[in-house]
Amino acid sequence: MAPVNGAAMHGKQKRIGVMTSGGDSQGMNGVVRAVVRMSIHMGCEAYAVYEGYEGLVRGGDLIKQMHWDDVRGFLSRGGTLIGTKRCKEFFERAGRAKAAKNMIERGIDALIICGGDGSLTGADKFRSEWPSLLEELVNTGELKQEQIEPYKHLNICGLVGSIDNDLSGTDATIGCYSSLERICEMVDAVFDTAASHKRGFVIEVMGRNCGWLAMMASIATGADYVFIPEKPPGVGWEDEMCDIVTSHRKWGKRRTIIIISEGAQDTELKKITADQVVEVLTDRLSLDTRKTVLGHIQRGGLPSYYDRWLSTLQGVEAVNAILDATPDKRTPVITVRENKIERSDLQECVELTKSVAEAIKQKDFAKAMRLRDVEFKEYFDSFKLTTSTDNTSLRLPEEKRMRIAIIHVGAPAGGMNPATRAAVAYCLSRGHIPIAIHNGFPGLQRHHDDKPLGSVRVCEWLDVDPWVNEGGSELGTNRGLPSEDMEKTAYCFELYKFDALFLIGGFEAFTAASELRQNRDKYASFKIPLVVLPATVSNNVPGTEYSLGSDTCLNTLIGFCDAIRQSASASRRRVFVVETQGGKSGYLATMAGLSIGALAVYIPEEGINIHMLARDIEFLRESFKHDRGASRAGKIILRNEVASDTYTTQIVADMIKEEARGRFESRSAVPGHYQQGGKPSPMDRIRALRMAIKCMQFLEDTFAGKSQDEIDNNPLNAVVIGVQGSEVVFNPMGGKDGLEATQTDWRLRRPKNEFWRPLKGTVDILSGRPSDTDCCDECGKLLVSSGEMPKSVAASRPITPMPERPYVQNVPSIGDRLTAVVSRT
């Protein structure tokens, strides 16, 4: 694929600088990689500014042109490989003048900065002063007028790198979920020793001015109490905390976990320390309590899947924003809302963030919670609900209370158990009766009345509280459907008087809800509201862009691929073909490919053909030919498990090995059901709580106290909760415009319009993978004619141009050779 001339409109080749500033965060390296490669792809030159603003001021070797292969291996590395350093000199005008001179001398008039709000504010000020700085440099004789003429305007774009997630206007900042993962790993590890000795642990996390890490860690680990600066406890907080801990101990809970933000304080702004909390628990409750301060371990380690995804897509969008920029446009910052990457106004976001700090200072904590965002308050309220399920003041009148059945359907997925726990917590706090159906619909049909313990059981809080970090499905799950015995299913619904059914699962859960909905005319007991919460590693449920379990699976998969790549890189000459799950949806393979920098991704939506393989093998040859033993040279190809019936994972690996002719090796690797296992990721845990509680609220607000006929006539009587773009929505399944009729490919078991498909092109762009037009149709060789060549090769490797249609006498085409390999296999 030839580079896109995105800078042609500027009359010169645009040079884009990228730098990291402020505190380091996991994912910063992903930003640098994406900016460098996307800039090259768009026909620009990329420069890295080392050591943050210090490098911009000092110049010299600290501003370096970056080529395609310079950022190889960046995606999986923690911290920032181009460094970050505080620079007092930049905060003086003379320092900014030096920075401007260094940029002009290198022809750089666009800068992408990844850092905190302070770093981004400094960059915006730099942009506003740019014209006057250039004029000053000309007047002092340091630059000539003709030197500055092409660079009259400075374009800036910001990306927020912060583990605290402290910028208002975005759901997440680069590094926050990796940091949350470190915290959850530590707290999960404490669980066992705490329960063994019936101890309490007070765990201090980062967050001087923002309680996001503390609050999300509390949700993800089922903490008993949390201290955050935006919603501090009142004077006398000791009594409230001790009452909650005592209540939980009376239920039979053996461990106590308190999470405190380093910026914790009470409503009078009096500092609350971890030592104070330990002292209160020890003195008042005689509870053996220990303190753990996690410190900078929260900044370390590899970036999570989400931070790789976020940093890559935001880096790509930042380059596009720079190329779209005009002098009259305000400085953008790249943000994210749910699953949607957006451009926001940098100064608006910074001012909003400062307003939070001011509201806290003024003791207006309600305003501080609102200014964070709506979700922040939702999460806090949901957490408080899970710690006070015995609070009778929240319960509804008898006539509004419902018997809500909860069932898991399909393959296990991380997040099923936390979602069930959250639903049960909400039901108990509101007076509803949560009823667990064990082992799916087959369990209901065959074992509902087994003695001494049937498959239909009322849930108690202590039954589900430990599920907060448990993977798999504690209720038991399988692919069985109501249609296996519809009559018995209807009988059980009537026998146990279900008022609503909450289905947690994948495409089978969607199918089960569809079967129940379509049989309401035959069985009156099915005239109850049905809500599907998608939970599947394949993320193939219509009506949503996110399913519980997909983040957990992708974290597991990229961990596997990182280890595999290490092996491949150690030999300097090895390719691994890794098989992913996902059924007939290529979501997993594509997202994993984006997050590990896969050389190629094969998905069912595109299939695999001989020409595709020929092109990729030729690209591998060129890559290894020019690597010459370079480090981090291992290659990974991802193949969805059903991408092709003919070209299996092993066959693809064998074909590559055959065509390598000893220049490099090929291996296959199949992680299989390993992708489904392990503890749920923090994102799956906190989203499970939020989505499950939204489902319970939807059932309560829409259907509590309604008759069967009223329910049957409501178009929202069977829905899927889903993330679509920047919103969480309830999509109706039935009707002519419902999900079943308009958005479901029943044969292929996936949505008709898959939101992630355009990202497949981004994977290919950032890997440098050539397209059809880059290769000869007959022999598969890379074409280098008329100045066109694959962007990665063009950016980093000299290649001798070939004729328009190269012809090699008496040598079989690569397509013929590959066909022969398939036949032998």
641 marked among binding-site residues: yes
304 marked among binding-site residues: no
Please state whether beta strands 45-49 and 750-751 pair in parallel, antiparallel, or not at all (unpaired).
unpaired
23 marked among binding-site residues: yes
651 marked among binding-site residues: no
540 marked among binding-site residues: yes
For the chain, the residue count is 825
538 marked among binding-site residues: yes
Collapsing DSSP states into helix, strand and coil, what is residue 165? coil
438 marked among binding-site residues: no
Q: Residue ranges of the alpha helices (H) in 628-731?
A: 649-660, 682-703, 708-713
Cα angle 389-393-396, degrees, rounded to a multiple of 5: 90
> Which residues 6+ apart lie within 8 Å of 802 measured at CB?
781, 782, 783, 784, 785
95 marked among binding-site residues: no
Side chain identity, residue 152: K
290 marked among binding-site residues: yes
Token reading at 285: 């409750």
d(CA 286, CA 710): 55
420-444: b or e for each residue (b if 16 or more CB lie within 10 Å)? bbbbbbbbbbbebbbbbbbbbbbbb
675 marked among binding-site residues: yes
298 marked among binding-site residues: yes
d(CA 602, CA 579): 9
Taking the CA atoms of residue 180, residue 182, residue 184 and residue 186 in that order, the dihedral angle to the nearest 10 degrees is -150
797 marked among binding-site residues: no
457 marked among binding-site residues: no
d(CA 310, CA 30): 9
Determine the straight-line distance between the first and last CA of the chain, rounded to whole angstroms.
32
479 marked among binding-site residues: yes
Sheet containing 15-20: give its strands across.
63-66, 45-49, 15-20, 110-115, 155-160, 332-337, 340-345
Rounded to the nearest 10 degrees, what angle do helices 587-596 and 550-571 cross at?
Answer: 50
Check residue 174 and report its DSSP letter: B
18 marked among binding-site residues: no
582 marked among binding-site residues: yes
543 marked among binding-site residues: no
DSSP 106-141: TT--EEEEEE-HHHHHHHHHHHHHHHHHHHHHHHTT
208 marked among binding-site residues: yes
> Is 390 an active-site residue?
no
Of 164, 166, 465, 684, the active-site residue reads 164
Return the bridge partners of 782, or none.
775
565 marked among binding-site residues: no
86 marked among binding-site residues: yes
674 marked among binding-site residues: yes
Say which residue the tokens 């399920």 belong to: 389
439 marked among binding-site residues: no
Rounded to the nearest 10 degrees, what angle do helices 305-324 and 587-596 cross at?
Answer: 80
667 marked among binding-site residues: yes
CB atoms within 10 A of CB 470: 17
CA 265 vs. chain centroid, Å, equals 31
749 marked among binding-site residues: yes
87 marked among binding-site residues: yes
d(CA 56, CA 550): 40
Residue 715, preceding peptide bond in cis (omega within 30° of 0): no
261 marked among binding-site residues: no
673 marked among binding-site residues: yes
314 marked among binding-site residues: no
* Residue 260 · residue 277 · CB < 8 Å: yes
416 marked among binding-site residues: no
Residues at the binding site for substrate are 162-164, 199, 206-208, 262, 290, 296-299
Residues at the binding site for ATP are 23, 86-87, 116-119
Residues designated catalytic: 164
Residues at the binding site for Mg(2+) are 117
Residues at the binding site for beta-D-fructose 2,6-bisphosphate are 479, 536-540, 574, 581-583, 641, 667, 673-676, 749
Residues at the binding site are 23, 86-87, 116-119, 162-164, 199, 206-208, 262, 290, 296-299, 479, 536-540, 574, 581-583, 641, 667, 673-676, 749
